[in-house]
Amino acid sequence: MTRLIVAAGGGGDAVAAAMLHAALYGDEDQAVILTYAWDRLLIDPLPGPRGADDFIGLEPLTPAVWKVPAEARPIGPAGSTLPRLAAELPHTFALIDPRNGAEGVTRQVEQLVTRLKPSSIDLLDVGGDVLARGDEPTLKSPLADSLTLAACGQVDAPIRLLIAGPGLDGELSHEDLRSLLGPIIHTFTAEDAEPIGGVLEWHPSEATGMLAAAARGVRGTCEVRDAGLPIPLTDESPTVHEADLDEALNRNELARAIMSTTTLDEVETLSREICGFSEIDYERNKALWLKEQPPTKLNAESVLRQLTQFEAEARSRGVTHTTFRHLTEVLNLDGSQRDDLRRLLISNRPEQYAAPLWHIPTTT
């Protein structure tokens, strides 16, 4: 028995797919997780998603789909978390290659369905921005989710759209999503988060990190991203809802517009026209800015002093938790130092580690 899970936005959605499989399907045969290699600038200094030509060591699953085994490697200077995920999780990770637009991704899903004959197909999005119209002012990264939605909407097979952790991606609030969500099919627990616990020690996903923390009972307000966006962690945060795929497609203007695209450039152009931006442009600009920044050293005494100041300011904003990705940004460190920062902080203040988040105490 094979399950196919399409990680709508890649990255953290692929990790959440492993948690979903453990929660819903238990010890059945493991899943094929179809996902982007798009790890943002913390892991990959190159803007945008990687394609099959950006790796060595991929293995063919179908004429259009490549498996990413643990031995695969991105071709430098590109980076990718997928080989390490393949090494640490008992699933097959297959690469979404968006370079041929929605038609290409549709072809990939169709070939996997034909090859695997899966007993179920889930399209999983952590946060719920796949349900956006495209004009919401809080929307930051609609391209990947809209592309997978456009593709899955054209596949002649039953595909279930699942939204995990509504609002956790900081793009649409839970209040915005409430009327768009169907029934709760599962509420993640600490036991469900166990299979990905080790992965979240190093994986940079903020939304899936908060999803796992919420499953473990963490509640409060978590500050994320470079802009310090506050995300509420509530009893709704660890839930998984079903949503109507056809209704999502009818609502998502970008997804509808890109259904016949054959290149990623076309998808980007339509994203700029409909949403007013392309997140790959944002990455291009930020990558140029990062290149101009002088290298920084991780000085333990200086970091701990800055952390104390940040925590005091965060408390005044009502913040109870933050991510190590956000801490890396606010302490003016580069992405390659995130793991070193994590080790330093946990070794000095282990009582504040609310895995995989950092707890900001209410008093000093």
Average pLDDT per block of 10 residues along the chain, 364 residues long: 92 95 86 95 91 97 98 96 97 97 98 96 98 94 97 98 97 92 97 96 95 98 91 98 98 98 98 96 92 84 95 96 94 87 95 96 80
* pLDDT score of 364: 64
* pLDDT score of 227: 82
* pLDDT score of 96: 98
Among 223, 257, 291, the domain boundary falls at 257
- CA gap 238, 190 in Å, rounded: 10
The angle subtended at Cα 14 by Cα 97 and Cα 175, nearest 5°, is 110
Q: What is the pLDDT of residues 312-360, one digit of tens each?
A: 999 999 999 999 999 998 998 888 888 999 999 999 999 999 999 999 9
* pLDDT score of 169: 94
Does some domain include residue 231? Answer: yes
Number of structural domains (the chain) is 2
* pLDDT score of 322: 97
List for the chain the helix, strand, coil content (%; round to 5): 45, 15, 35
Do 238 and 323 reside in the same domain of the chain? no
Q: Is residue 95 helix, strand or coil?
A: strand
Do 169 and 250 reside in the same domain of the chain? yes
Do 353 and 220 reside in the same domain of the chain? no
Among 227, 257, 287, the domain boundary falls at 257
Does some domain include residue 150? Answer: yes
Do 34 and 131 reside in the same domain of the chain? yes
- In this structure, are residues 170 and 127 in contact, taking their beta carbons and an 8 Å threshold? yes
Beta strands in the chain (DSSP E): 3-7, 32-36, 55-56, 59-60, 66-67, 73-74, 92-96, 120-126, 160-164, 184-187, 220-224, 229-233, 239-243, 321-322, 353-354, 357-359
Does some domain include residue 86? Answer: yes
* pLDDT score of 289: 87
Bridge partner residues of 221 (DSSP): 232
Do 242 and 325 reside in the same domain of the chain? no
* pLDDT score of 295: 76
* pLDDT score of 162: 98
Do 249 and 310 reside in the same domain of the chain? no
Do 83 and 232 reside in the same domain of the chain? yes
Does some domain include residue 283? Answer: no
Cα separations in angstroms, 296 against 20, 45, 94, 362: 38, 17, 36, 30
* pLDDT score of 228: 87
Cα Dmax for the chain: 59
Does some domain include residue 226? Answer: yes
Do 235 and 327 reside in the same domain of the chain? no
- In this structure, are residues 206 and 224 in contact, taking their beta carbons and an 8 Å threshold? yes
Do 132 and 219 reside in the same domain of the chain? yes
Among 231, 257, 283, the domain boundary falls at 257
* pLDDT score of 212: 98
> Residue 342's domain spans which residues?
300-359
* pLDDT score of 25: 93
Q: What is the pLDDT of residues 40-79, one digit of tens each?
A: 887 899 999 999 999 999 999 999 999 999 999 999 999 9
Do 314 and 251 reside in the same domain of the chain? no
Do 108 and 162 reside in the same domain of the chain? yes
